[in-house]
Chains A and B, each alone.
Chain A
Amino acid sequence: MKKNMPKPVEGRHIQRIYKTLLRIRMVEERIAEIYPEQQMRCPVHLSIGQEGIAAGVCEALEMKDTVMSGHRAHAHYLAKGGDLKKMIAEIYGRETGCCLGRGGSMHLIDLQANFRGSTPIVGGTIPIAVGLAWAAKMKNEKQVSVIFLGEGTTEEGVFHESLNFAELHKLRVLFICEDNLYSVYTPLDERQPERSRTGIAKANGLYVDSGDGNKALEVYAKTQKALDYIRSDKGPAFLEFSTYRWREHCGPNYDNAIGYRTEEEFEMWKKKDPLVQLEKIGKFTEQYKTSLRSKLDTEISEAFEFAKQSSYPKKSDINPNLAYAS
C-alpha cells in the first residue's frame, strides 16, 4: 500500500455510517413530507444531500468529544447521537423538546450526547466551540471540540479570529467546513475571491485537508487523520468537504425553478448522492436495506407521534425570571 493512502475503512464503520446517513435522510424527508401540515411552526433548514459529512465526521469521534453547529444542524445533532424524539418535539414547539420548545429547529442541544448547541447566527457558535476546547485545556481534559460551519461562515470576521486563537494555544478544535456553494441564494463568486479556504486556515498554522463530502468514507478517513493530529496536541485542524444542498435554503421544497441555480447543476449533484454511493460500496443486501428502512421508519413515526402527543409549554414559561439562572 502506498504511503499516505488512508487505511481501508472497516465494514462495521461502513455499516454504522450508512445507518446514520440513512436515518438522517429519512428523518428529514419525513419533515419535508409533513411540513405542509403547518404543525412545525418554525424555520427548518434541511441537510438532505449533505448528510455524508455529518455521518462521516461523527463516526470518527469519541463519545466525550463535543459538537456544535449552526442553523442547518439536524444532521450534526443526529449523527452525534442527539435524541430524535426531543428534536422532533422541539421542531413542533412542544414542552418535551430539547429546549422545552423555546428554541425550535435552529437551536438544538443534547448534553448527554455532548452535542453542545447550535444557533442560527452565522459563525456564532465557532468561538464558543473554541472556548470549550480552551476550558478543556485549562482543566486538562482531553476531548476534541468539533464545530460544523458552512463555507459562507468563512466570510465572517469571527471565523478568522477563532482560527487565530485556536492555533495560538494549540487547542483541540476540529473545524469542519461544509462547502455547498450557496449562501441562501448567493453563489460563491458573488462572495469570495478565487482562493481556497483551506489556504486561510493553513496560513493560520492549522492542519488542513479537503475532500469530497458526498463520499462519507473519505470524510471519515480524513477526519480520523485530523483527529490523530489534534489528539497529539499539535494544534487544531480545518477540513473542508464539498457537497450540495438539494432542497431550498429554508423549508421543505425544491427551488431550482426560481433561477439562482440550474436544474442541470442539481441533477449533476444528485447523481453524487452520498447515500447511493455508500450503498454501492457497502454492498448491503436488499433484505438488510429493507429491514433497516423499516426499523427506522417505525422509530421516526414514533418520534413524530411523541411530538404531536406532547403538550405545548405552559404560559408560566413566559416569566422574565426564567431568563436568569439562580
Chain B
Amino acid sequence: MPRKRIINGAAAIREAIDQSMKKDSSVFIVGEGVPDPKGVFGTTLGLRKKYTKNRVWDMPLSENAMTGTVIGAAISGMKPILVHQRLDFALLSLDQIINNAAKWFYMFGGQQSVPLVIRMIIGHGWGQGAQHSQNLQALFAHIPGLKVVMPSQPSDAKGLLIASIQDPNPVIFLEHRWIHNATGDVPKKLYATPLGKANITKKGSDITIISSSYMALEALRAAQLLESLNISAEVVDLRTISPLDEATIIRSIKKTGRLLVVDSAWTNGGIAGEIITRVVTKHMSLLKTMPARIGLPNLPTPSSPGLTKYYYPNIETIMRSVCDVLKKDSSPIKKILAEDPSLAAVSHDVPNASYMGPF
C-alpha cells in the first residue's frame, strides 16, 4: 500500500492545474488575481513562474468579454481555464456562458466544440452575505450544453478538474470555498475522475442521502454519527450535477427504499427537486416513505452570524431529517453532537478552528 498523502482541496486543485498545464501546452489559465500573491486561495500559486505570462494571465474586470475571449480561444484549439473568485462575479458573464459557450457546438451543427473550464468559487460563512455565497448549480444545470461539476473530497477536486479540462465541452466547475479547506488522501499522479459518475462515500441500507460539494462532507459526518442510533445511511456524493448519475441514485434507492436529498442551494427550482422528480416519476414503487429534501430557505443569504446559524443547514439538520424520514426518535441527537469534540470547537461560520477571516 502506498503511503497516504494528505493535502487540502485547494492544494489538490492547484496540482490538477499544474499537471494539466505540464501535460498539455494548449491549457492556459486566466482570472482576476490568478498570478497575484494570494493566488486565488492558493489554487494558482506559483503557476506564472512555472508557465510564464503567456499561459498564466490576470485579466481586466470584464467578466463577460473575458468569457467571450476564452470561448474564442477554445474554438481556436486552446483549453482555457477561467477563474472567478466568487461565483457571483460570473453572473456578469451569463450572456457568454449561456448564449455562446453552451450552444456553440449544437447551434453550429457540431463543427466546433468549446473545451472550456470556468471555475467559480462559492463563498460560505464569515459574513459573505447575499452576493458572495450563491450556490447556483441549478441555474447552470438547466442549460443544455453545459456540464456542471461540484466536488467535495480533495481527491475528487483534483480528478474531476483534470477530467473537466480534458472534456471537449464547457464545464462549470463549482468550488465551495470550504472544500478548499477539507483534507484527504490525494494521489500524486495525474488522473481523471470521470464526469457524470457519482461516488458512494458511505454504504448503508436504511436510507439514501444524496448530496454534493460541501454538503456531501456534512452528510457524510451526519451519516457516521447516525451509526450510534443504529441508523445505516448510504451517502451518495453526486460529484457531477449535470449530467446527473441517475443510475447510481436509483441503484442506491433500490437498496434502501428511502431518500433524502441535501443540497447547498435554495430549494425552489433546485437540484433536490429535480432528483426527487426523477425518482418519483419513474421509480415511485422503490420508495417505502415520502422522499425529503434539505436546502436553503428561499431568501438571500444574510451576513450576520446571528442569522446565518438559522439559515444554513448543518450536520444536525441532516441527522434530524434522516430521523424524520425513518420515523425515529431524534431526541438523542443533541447529546451525540455535544459529545463530539471536533464539532464543539468550531463556530458555525468558519470552515475550521484555525480560520480567522477576513474573506
Residues of A within 8 A of B (CB): 97-103, 107, 109, 111, 116-117, 119, 121, 124-136, 138-139, 145, 157-158, 161-162, 164-165, 168, 320, 322-326
Contacts and interface: CB of A to CB of B under 8 A. Distances in A.
Interface of B: 28, 54-55, 59-60, 62, 64-78, 95-96, 99-100, 102, 104-113, 115, 144-145, 147, 168-169
Nearest to B96: A127
Contacts of A109: 108-109, 111-112
A324 B145 contact: yes
Contacts of B65: 126-127, 130, 158, 161-162, 164-165
Contacts of A130: 65, 68-69, 72
B169 to A, nearest CB: 5
Given A98-B109, A102-B109, A322-B106, 17 more contacts: A107-B108, A109-B108, A116-B75, A117-B112, A121-B95, A124-B96, A124-B99, A124-B100, A126-B65, A128-B75, A135-B77, A139-B77, A158-B65, A161-B65, A162-B65, A165-B62, A323-B145
Given A124-B68, A138-B73, A158-B68, A323 B144 contact: yes
B72 A135 contact: yes
20 contacts: A102-B108, A111-B112, A124-B68, A124-B99, A127-B72, A131-B70, A131-B73, A133-B72, A135-B76, A136-B76, A158-B62, A158-B64, A158-B68, A162-B65, A164-B60, A164-B65, A323-B105, A324-B168, A325-B168, A325-B169
Contacts of B102: 323
B82 to A, nearest CB: 11
| Chain B CB within 10 Å, residue with most, of A111, A126, A127, A162 | A127
Contact of B113 (A103, A107, A124, A325): A325
Nearest to B78: A135
A195 to B, nearest CB: 22
Contact of B72 (A97, A99, A134, A323): A134
A127 B66 contact: yes
Contacts of A165: 59-60, 62, 65-66, 69
B150 to A, nearest CB: 18
Given A119-B99, A119-B100, A165-B65, A326 B72 contact: no
B111 A102 contact: no
A119 B72 CA distance: 13
B62 A164 contact: yes
B66 to A, nearest CB: 7
Contacts of A133: 72
Contacts of B96: 124, 127, 158
B97 to A, nearest CB: 11
A131 B60 contact: no
Contacts of B113: 325
A51 to B, nearest CB: 24
A134 B73 contact: yes
A326 B77 CA distance: 15
Nearest to A141: B76
Contacts of B115: 325
Contacts of B54: 138
B121 to A, nearest CB: 22
A99 B70 contact: no
Contacts of A158: 62, 64-65, 68, 95-96
B53 to A, nearest CB: 10
| Chain B CB within 10 Å, residue with most, of A100, A125, A158, A165 | A158
A165 B110 CA distance: 29
A133 B75 CA distance: 11
Closest 4 A/B residue pairs (Cβ) = A131-B72, A127-B68, A161-B65, A325-B113
| Chain A CB within 10 Å, residue with most, of B100, B109, B145 | B109
A326 B73 CA distance: 19
Contacts of A102: 106-109
A138 B26 CA distance: 9
Contacts of B60: 161, 164-165, 168
B72 A100 contact: no
A131 B104 CA distance: 15
B108 A322 contact: no
Contacts of A101: 109
Contact of B169 (A116, A161, A324): A324
| Chain A CB within 10 Å, residue with most, of B66, B70, B105, B145 | B66
Nearest to A168: B60
A101 B110 CA distance: 11
A164 B71 CA distance: 17
B65 to A, nearest CB: 3
Contacts of A100: 109-110
A102 B75 CA distance: 19
| Chain B CB within 10 Å, residue with most, of A97, A325, A326 | A325
Contacts of A116: 75
Contacts of A325: 105, 110, 113, 115, 168-169
B110 A128 contact: no
Nearest to B30: A134
A116 B73 CA distance: 12
B73 A322 contact: no
Nearest to A326: B168
Nearest to B73: A135
Contacts of B111: 99, 109, 111
A128 B107 contact: no
A162 B100 CA distance: 16
Nearest to B106: A323
Contacts of B104: 117
Contacts of A129: 72
A107 B291 CA distance: 44
Nearest to A325: B113
B231 to A, nearest CB: 37
A138 B95 contact: no
Contacts of B147: 324
Contacts of B64: 127, 157-158, 161
A138 B27 CA distance: 11
